Structure 1
Amino acid sequence: MRKHIAQIHPLENKKTVISQNLDVPPPVSDAARSGTSDPPLNGSPGTPLETLADLLPDDVKTGTTLIPAELVALHVVDLPVRTTRQRREALPYALEEAVGRPLEHTHFALCGPGEDGRVLAAAMDEDTLAAYLASAPGTALVPEQMVLRRPDRTIDGKETWRAYRRDDRVLVRVSDGTGFAVRNDMLHALWLSAERPAIESVGAPLGTDLVWSDHADTDLPHPGDLADADLRQGAYLPARGLKRPLKWLAAAVAVAALGHLAIAAFDLRAQRAIAEDLRADARAALATHLPDASIDDAPELILRRLAARNQPQVGSTFLPILERVAQALSRTGVAVQFRQLTWSDNAMRLTIEAPDLDMLQRAEASLRAANLQVSSGTTTADSGAARAELTVRP
């Protein structure tokens, strides 16, 4: 099948049935931009669409320029590499024999996925592409074959065609993703050579010598399919328009950086003012408490001197407590004798003796009544005397 289709592509044979020589770029007319070089059918019977561009949604039509199938050849190729860049670089070598013309004058582009993991690719004369770029700047350049939705193969896996006829010209999309254009009187011969594939017609009626079915109401191609087939690739890839936004972004970043620097400078100035105020307060405090000290002295030294200056003078409380104990015991009227008395850790430890235990309890109660803290220790009693160990604190 591909052998017969290749015969009608100008990139593969300069003498073609289309009689189109690609070495000289053809003029790009308004009709060519819409995807057809023929005049409208003016509503001829059996023609549901006036122009091929009518197959496109309105929002896609305004930004798309269709390249006639006679000027661009579609191929399905196996590329073992994975990335888009590697595939684009490998295309010229993979299609060198298929295009049959100098590679340096041929533009290659990826047009989306093909069957069985293969890649759909386009080949076109570079001068022709440059002419379209000059006449239709800013629009996507898409092979018109891509406007026809790729038909599905038959249930038994045989090839299927989708055809769009307008006057004496028929545009065909093959189920493997490729496509071509041919005169209507030659379509029958190609159809026989391709072993009579099923044909889905979306344009004017085809010849009676063909077997075809009417699919004029078939869904339009998805806009994403056309975006994948934009021939403006490689050196012809349009600029993304990021230069000006990047400049604005860089300017905004610079302004923001200057703003942050200004804030940091003001913050530093404020912190310095606060530090000077604190130093002045420290000088005044030292002048009051340590006149001979400086704020530049080590903090540990200043703290030790302040602690020594403010340490209270602690005197012994032995005599005051002894006096309070003696007064408390004298108020009981009990004959109490001191057998032992010691002083340590601001506490008086004494052993007192009385005639009996009852008098010892009265003595202890009198000490507590004098607001003294009394802790009882060992208490003993024998013939005619009782002894108790007491600890007294202020």
Structure 2
Amino acid sequence: MTIEPAPAGPAAGVWAVAGGNAIVVDGTVPATTLLVPSESVLLLSVDLPLPSRAKRLAALPFAVEDRIADPIDAVHLVLGDAIGDRRYLVAVVRHGVMTEWVAIADAAGIGGAAFVPDALTLAAPVEGWSVEVTGGRALVRAADGTGFAMPLPMLVAAWEAAGRPAVQALGDPLPAAMAGDGVAFPPAPLDQRIADAPIDLRQGAYARRRTAWPSTTRKVAMILGAAALAHGVIAVADTLMLQRIAERRQAALQQLVVTTAPSVPTGGDDFMVRVADLLPRPTGSNRFVPLLSRVAGALSPIGPALVVNRMDFEGNALTLDCQSPETGMADRLRAALSAAGVAAQVSAAPGGALRIVARGA
């Protein structure tokens, strides 16, 4: 996905969300981009073996609904670039979060900026993970093109639970347990990494606005718009044409199903549901990272107050054995996970030991 360059000016460059505001990261990059925290974005690798983007978009809600905790109508679904054979990067963000980021961009004067999850500024490795540690936070990009962010105290346990994948590292040193398995690599220039970003969250209802027109141009546009009102009959004809196009596309999809899955009925209002049922369902192996990403995002505000000693994933359950010196931590964890929509149980034991059992959809 190519990030379109913005006109040179004070709003150009790469910005990042920090503390409820947008701050400049690099003002020399020509594309106006806002890096958003990956803790609030679920990045999935989704199989969508359909021949056109329109059909993939139509099937997308059915392909991801059993991998997310929120209702489909509560989230913004974004279809990104292909990251494999008929496999695509998909982002899931709550509407409330997108609305907040749009307001932050508008307040900073970068309302037309692309929104890119910051984990996607890392290069996708051939195998294993790319990891960038900055302060108490870790960004991770996996070989399948997805990515996530988490508090640094969770990194070692997540890496061990993932089978100790090979690590390419940049930024601050890796934790001691991972140091022998990490290989340093020089990052590409930021402008190149932004240009290579495989997804822009500004799609659909949140599509980027064009730069405001000069006043003279606006006046001309108003005149043209008034003239266009006299041609309402053309609009009606266009609507009918679009309906016919939609009918032809529906017929083409039905023909594809007849050819590839002749036993599947092609009639009825639930045809798209049956099409979605033809898509490959995720297995336990690729549920780990989405669930880990959601849990990490929920626990991010707690950060250093929690030490993760062990992490296990079995079936659809992610178990974290933790330690914290703070009293009332179990209640804080329950509240944080509940607010993030993560189904989880938190149990406490004497001495500050805590166990979190989070379950995927």
With the length of structure 2 as denominator, give the TM-score of the two structures.
0.49
The higher radius of gyration belongs to 1
With the length of structure 1 as denominator, give the TM-score of the two structures.
0.45
Select the structure with the greater relative contact order (CA < 8 A; seq sep ≥ 6): 2
